[in-house]
Amino acid sequence: MESPAAALRAAIDEFVGIARTRPSLYRLMLDRAPFGDNASDVGARSQDVFHTLVARVVPAERARPFAGLVLAAAHGIADLEAGGRLDPRKCDADGDALIDLLIATLPTR
């Protein structure tokens, strides 16, 4: 059985992986226009997935803000990589190492 942290890592890998391998799809995922008035509902549902996974790792009362942090960090890593602005020489880590660091720094239950 996969640990909660491993499941969260897998979800982040998928999210960042789409940005790496299918950048057009990644940009479309973040674009509100195709969803019109339903954009907020679609976004909320996708954030609920991260919340559920994060809630299995961190203390329950802190799950929402940490889910936001995880989603923001994953998006930041994906965006920086896509733009060629994540230089491993400057931060001594590539995107995968930063994801490892993110998971490792989360408070646990």
pLDDT at residue 45, as a whole number: 66
| Residue 77 contacts residue 86 (beta carbons within 8 Å) | yes
Core vs surface per residue 20-45: b (16+ CB within 10 A) or e: eeeeeebeeeeeeeeeeeeeeeeeee
| Residue 77 contacts residue 99 (beta carbons within 8 Å) | yes
Give the closest residue to 75 by CA, choosing from 48, 47, 55, 53. 47
| Residue 47 contacts residue 106 (beta carbons within 8 Å) | no
> What's the predicted TM-score (pTM) here?
0.85
Least confident of 1-10, 13-22, 31-40, 46-55: 31-40
